[in-house]
A and B are shown apart, each in its own frame.
Chain A
């Protein structure tokens, strides 16, 4: 990284940190880790170009939550100005109300983070979800058919990967990420 890049990275990081300093006083530690994981997944997972309308169209991270959650705010602030390849990262919050006002809400999403307070309709939609949508369950208590599931063991956030769901999608997860997964569900994992 050159000096200019380093400076840009540090300034961005500063903004990221400064914007969250106020919130961090009330923010749960695991929220930050989860937010970071969601962002870092984009580094090890590849989406097909057909998942984007244009080469510069947005990469949308959807947070399904009916409540006033912290993670969507944290991600919105933190991911501002960041990209997946040439696609700017944006965060959309999906609530029961937004589902009612929009048709095929999940079509615009590339990552769907399903919280425990996610609208039930969203959970139902994951059965027929888009092939380029990475679904992430916030915990084991959620019955959505997600590819990645967060687990909390001994106060440490880890994740597992459901190969059955993964095989249904068009996204690719790198081997290095797979090695980090706590476990990989599904006997027919062949990717």
Chain B
């Protein structure tokens, strides 16, 4: 039903459009012709009437001048030869009063024209077309003087009939043209629209049935034929795509059916892998913690070795002095028992006793100070507490604790630190950072170059502490420089290096101290570590810091 309505609508549109175009075109051609014909007819009537009027006026002068109305009326009677002239009137202008008076007339027997009042002639136009008449009038001159007026009314019935006939003929021609065109259109419409209808019907079938194997028969070799060909080509392509789509849908369907199984399998595999990864990660963390702990214990071991070594000397001296004092005391007691004790001997003993005691006291003081210092460092290394301390003194204590490690390479370590710089921070972290940096320099940088130079420079600006550690050693291999702070990065694997030293430094700086660290190094030109981290300046605590002397 809808299809039928659409077809009718298209046909109607074509029909109406064509008829309107034809009507417009014919009207456009005919209207100017009618207009020109009417204008020509009017002009012709006017010209003929003016000729008649001129003849009348020219021949009326003598009659007017010699006051001979009969002669003028005789003259006017000649107008009965002109059937279009309905009426003619001559008016005389009085020489003395300037009044216009009717003088002579002619009226066609069939005329119903009523001549206007004489005064009308002075006030109205000379040529006037009314519905039924052409009315013209003209003054009658004699030697440039107006002696009267001539008025003539010409019937326009003939003109009107001509116009009406022209319009009627034109209308008949237009209507006939439209009828002929309509008949031709109707005859051609079904033939012209049939291919379009076939296209529409086929499209409807395809939409309803999804049957893309349908094709439209090509009935003509014009634009519609081309459209049909393209439509069929499009159907070829759609059918092809449809087949591919069906295949793909089948493949997708099959894939979907297997997908769940595959997902389950992959999920199980992923879970297993995930568990393995978690286990590995946990083991890795354990290993890392173990290694870090080992590193810490090794550090503490080094500290203990340093303590033992440093304390051994004063204790040995004290022991020697005490042994000497003991021998001297035994010898004095023997001589006293024997009665051989002389004044000289006693005085010698007193002197030895004083000297030995002095040696013992001095060395025991030194040992006590060392113990205090080592104790502080070891406590700091094993705890993560914030306290205020003098930076330079603390670094000196650290260096002291490292003496046993430094004995072999004997690097020259210089400190560029303000003697009075006191900060509030994590001394244990700082101790471990400095220890690791120095041990890295000793083990790696000065491995083939004993007697290197290490410079530690610490500056404080506002609340930011900058620690610049420089050595003139072998430098860092460019291959590992970008990963220097990664865990287990070492060039001494299997030779004592754990690969955790710089990683521990990085973690302490970035996590505990809240700062940052970077390194610049060229092979054989040493390395420079720059560490920046925020610190507080506890002015009030500065005086409470215990002074530890080495």
Name the residue on B nearest A175 (C-beta): B59
Produce 1/0 per residue, B57-92, CB < 8 A to A. 011011101101001001100000000000000000
B430 to chain A, nearest CB (A): 131
From A5, A43, A177, A179, give the contact of B142 (CB < 8 A): A43
Complex: A180 Cα to B63 Cα, angstroms: 7
How close is B509's CB to chain A, nearest CB, in angstroms? 123
Please measure, in the bound complex, the distance between the C-alpha atom of A40 and the C-alpha atom of B95, giving whole angstroms. Answer: 13
The answer to whether residues A179 and B62 also contact, given A1-B145, A43-B142, A43-B143 and a CB cut-off of 8 A, is yes
Q: Is the CB of A1 within 8 A of B66?
A: no
Provide the main secondary structure of the chain A interface.
Answer: helix
A17-B96, A180-B68, A180-B71 in contact; A44/B62 too (CB < 8 A)? yes
Q: Does A15 contact B (CB under 8 A)?
A: no
Asked if A121 lies at the interface with its beta carbon under 8 angstroms from chain B, I say no
B97-116 to A contact mask, C-beta < 8 Å, 1/0: 01000000000000000000
A9 on interface, CB distance cutoff 8 Å: yes
Given contacts A13-B95, A180-B68, A180-B71, contact A174 B144 (CB under 8 A): no
Contacts of A180 in B (CB 8 A): 62-63, 66, 68, 71
Task: Please indicate the chain B residues that have their CB under 8 angstroms from the CB of A177 in the complex.
Answer: 62, 66
The docked-state distance in angstroms from the alpha carbon of A43 to that of B145 is 12
Is there an interface contact between A174 and B145, defined as CB atoms closer than 8 Å?
no
Known interface pairs A13-B95, A17-B96. Does A37 touch B146 (Cβ–Cβ under 8 Å)? no
Interface check A101, CB cutoff 8 A: no
**Is A53 at the interface (CB under 8 A from chain B)?**
no
- Chain A residue nearest to B74 in the complex (CB): A179
Q: Which residue of B lies closest to A39 (CB)?
A: B65
Tell me the complex Cα distance, A180–B74, Å.
11
Known A13-B96, A17-B96, A180-B68; contact A1-B62, beta-carbon cutoff 8 A = no
Q: What mask results when residues 311 to 327 of chain B are scored 1 for a CB within 8 Å of chain A, else 0?
A: 00000000000000000
With A17-B96, A37-B66, A40-B66 known as contacts, the answer to whether A9 contacts B145 (CB < 8 A) is yes
Residues of A contacting B74 in the complex (Cβ-Cβ under 8 angstroms) = 179
Q: Would A43 and B146 count as touching, CB distance under 8 A? A: no
Q: Does A54 contact B (CB under 8 A)?
A: no
Candidates A5, A10, A17, A176; contact of B62 at CB < 8 Å: A176
Cβ-closest chain B residue relative to A179: B71
Closest CB-CB distance, A172 to chain B, in whole Å?
A: 14
Report A153-191 residues with CB < 8 Å from chain B CB. 174, 176-177, 179-180
Size bin of chain A's contact surface: 10 to 19
Q: Which residues of B contact A44 (CB under 8 A)?
A: 62, 65
Tell me the A1-52 residues at the B interface (CB within 8 Å).
1, 5, 9-10, 13, 17, 37, 40, 43-44
Classify chain B: how many residues form its interface, as a range: 10 to 19
Q: For the complex, what is the distance from the CA of A43 to the CA of B141, rounded to whole Å?
A: 12
**CB-defined contacts of B75 to chain A, threshold 8 Å:** 179
Find chain B residues with CB under 8 A from A9 CB: 145
A17 vs B62: C-alpha distance when bound (angstroms): 22
Q: Is the CB of B146 within 8 A of A1?
A: yes
Give 1 or 0 for each of B121-147: 1 = CB within 8 Å of chain A CB. 000000000000000000000111110
Contacts of B66 in A (CB 8 A): 37, 40, 177, 180
Q: Please give, as numbers and ranges, the residues of chain B lying within 8 Å of A40 by CB-CB distance.
A: 65-66
- Contact across chains for A1 and B142 when beta carbons are under 8 A apart: no
- Please report the C-alpha to C-alpha distance between residue A9 and residue B93 in the assembled complex, in whole angstroms: 13
**B142's closest neighbor in chain A, by CB?**
A43
Q: Which residues of B contact A174 (CB under 8 A)?
A: 62
Given the interface contacts A17-B96, A37-B66, A40-B66, does A176 sit within 8 Å of B61 by beta carbon?
A: yes
A84 to chain B, nearest CB (A): 10
Interface pair A176/B145, CB less than 8 Å apart: no
Known: A43-B142, A180-B63, A180-B71. 17 other contacts (CB 8 A): A1-B144, A1-B146, A9-B145, A10-B98, A13-B95, A37-B66, A40-B66, A43-B61, A43-B65, A43-B143, A44-B65, A176-B62, A176-B63, A179-B74, A179-B75, A180-B62, A180-B66
Q: Which residues from chain A sit less than 8 Å from chain B, CB to CB? A: 1, 5, 9-10, 13, 17, 37, 40, 43-44, 174, 176-177, 179-180
B interface list, Cβ under 8 A from A: 58-59, 61-63, 65-66, 68, 71, 74-75, 95-96, 98, 142-146
Nearest 6 A/B pairs, CB to CB: A176-B62, A40-B65, A177-B62, A180-B68, A180-B62, A180-B71
25 cross-chain CB contacts under 8 A: A1-B144, A1-B145, A1-B146, A9-B145, A10-B98, A13-B95, A13-B96, A37-B66, A40-B65, A43-B61, A43-B65, A43-B142, A43-B143, A44-B62, A44-B65, A174-B62, A176-B58, A176-B59, A179-B59, A179-B62, A179-B71, A179-B75, A180-B62, A180-B68, A180-B71
